[in-house]
Structure 1
Amino acid sequence: MALQDIVEQTVTGLGYELVEIERSAGGLLRITIDLPWDPKREQFVNVEDCEKVTRQLQFALEVEGTEYSRLEVSSPGIDRPLRKEQDFERFAGHEVDVTLKAPMGAAAGGQVAPNRKKFRGTLERADAGGWQIVWSDAPAVKPGQKVSKKREPAPLQALGFTLDELKEARLAPVVDFKGRRPKAVGES
């Protein structure tokens, strides 16, 4: 049985979602898990979840004779990778970092640098059924900095893409200190 199948079968059998499998030098096998998406409430993987999956995976990998020197099971963290269509649906409206396989080139119409491949903005469903990322190139306001109400806001830009055009997509790591959250694009 292939490693992917063993891990996926074990993780989903315990009621979790497999996010990523990574093999590193030195025999490290890193498994990233998450709880299945429930739109009614936000849930997070905790240490007990990781311990439970680790114990079961150790047994399953030993039975199958899979070679590894160290097993690490963890949550996806604040910069969770987005891979499947359901990941994009789950995190629509969140700030994401997107890296394209190929630069924009002339398709950007001069709006962005033609060799640009990386973008950060809000993930939205596009009208054509694909996805888009919306951002503003306005400089970030520093804490305590006064901003004139007369100043024109920078225009919003949008980039449509399909999952086939992506090299990588991740949640943007936004840290929330003391309940202060950055305002979403278009929020006042």
Structure 2
Amino acid sequence: MAWQETVAQTVAGLGFDLVDLERSAGGLLRVTIDLPWEPPAEGQAASVEQFVTVEDCETVTRQLQYLLEVENVDYRRLEVGSPGIDRPLRHQNDFLRFTGQVIDITLKAPIGATGTEVAANRKKFRGTLERADEEGQWRIVWSDEPPVKPGQRVSKKRVQAPLQALTFRLDELQQARLAPLVSFKGRGAAGA
């Protein structure tokens, strides 16, 4: 069994999901963990989002230090952390969890569509994630209108750019991440 599989099993055994496992040339071994998520049952409201704590990272770090010593894995520094505000999305469960959130995607190949407002060689998109169907297709909805700057006056007669949508499957993605949107207005000011 490869050491990567052993790390994944150890992290799962401690009650966490392994989000990412990265090894750099400088001897850094970076392990990203998150709390497990299950979709809410039919008719139930979504549960309150919980986050990985420093104590959780410390617990996983201690256990992995013992494991990596036993497995004789050569590394200089071990970092265990949470995914952060630009969390990578890799599995179907990640997309289910973050439906309705703003994400950044990069396609493996350009869309190649002509006769539309979207450039045919475009591969990167930022928009709201939606479920397209039950067969594993997803949709990202966006507007190419530039965001209004704080304090900028906006004419009431201004015509808004139309919304655009792109349907994709997970195997068409090179990369997907939550968009790192930060508001400094406080916790209750989402959308303000």
Structure 2 residue corresponding to 1:134, chosen from 131, 141, 149: 141
Supply the AA of the counterpart residue of 1:126.
A
Runs of 4+ in 1 over 4 A off after TM superposition: none
Report the 3-state secondary structure (helix = DSSP H, G, I; strand = E; otherwise coil) of the residue aligned with 1:133.
strand
Structure 2 residue corresponding to 1:122, chosen from 113, 116, 128: 128
1:109 deviates by 3.5
Superposed, 1:58-77 pairs within 5 Å as: 58-77=65-84
Instruction: For residues 58-95 of structure 1, give each alpha carbon's deviation from its aligned partner in whole angstroms, at most 9, with x where no partner exists.
Output: 01111111111111101000000000000000000000
Output the aligned Cα RMSD: 1.4
1:182 deviates by 4.1
Match of 1:96 in 2: 103
TM-score by structure 2 length?
0.90
1:46 deviates by 1.5
Supply the AA of the counterpart residue of 1:85.
Q
Report the 3-state secondary structure (helix = DSSP H, G, I; strand = E; otherwise coil) of the residue aligned with 2:9.
helix
Match of 1:181 in 2: 190
Match of 1:186 in 2: none
Match of 2:41 in 1: none
Alignment partners' CA distance in 1, 2:111 and 2:124: 10
- Structure 2: segments with no counterpart, 5+ residues: 39-45
The number of residue pairs the alignment matches comes to 182
Instruction: For residues 26-69 of structure 1, give each alpha carbon's deviation from its aligned partner in whole angstroms, at most 9, with x where no partner exists.
Output: 11110000011254110111111111100000011111111111
Instruction: For residues 135-181 of structure 1, give each alpha carbon's deviation from its aligned partner in whole angstroms, at most 9, with x where no partner exists.
Output: 00111100011212222221000000000100000000011212343
Alignment partners' CA distance in 1, 2:133 and 2:93: 17
Contact 1:29 1:72 in 2 (8 A): yes
Match of 1:111 in 2: 117
Change (3 A) 1:111 1:147: same
- Structure 1: segments with no counterpart, 5+ residues: 184-188
Alignment partners' CA distance in 1, 2:114 and 2:139: 14
Alignment partners' CA distance in 2, 1:94 and 1:164: 20
Alignment partners' CA distance in 1, 2:185 and 2:66: 41
Alignment partners' CA distance in 1, 2:114 and 2:133: 18
Q: Percent identity?
A: 69
Supply the AA of the counterpart residue of 1:143.
P
Alignment partners' CA distance in 2, 1:109 and 1:20: 39
Supply the AA of the counterpart residue of 1:115.
N
Alignment partners' CA distance in 1, 2:150 and 2:114: 32
Instruction: For residues 92-133 of structure 1, give each alpha carbon's deviation from its aligned partner in whole angstroms, at most 9, with x where no partner exists.
Output: 00000000000111x254221111100000000014730010
Supply the AA of the counterpart residue of 1:121.
G
Match of 1:15 in 2: 15
Alignment partners' CA distance in 1, 2:115 and 2:93: 31
Supply the AA of the counterpart residue of 2:190.
R
Supply the AA of the counterpart residue of 2:122.
R
Alignment partners' CA distance in 2, 1:11 and 1:73: 11
Contact 1:6 1:61 in 2 (8 A): no
Match of 2:155 in 1: 148
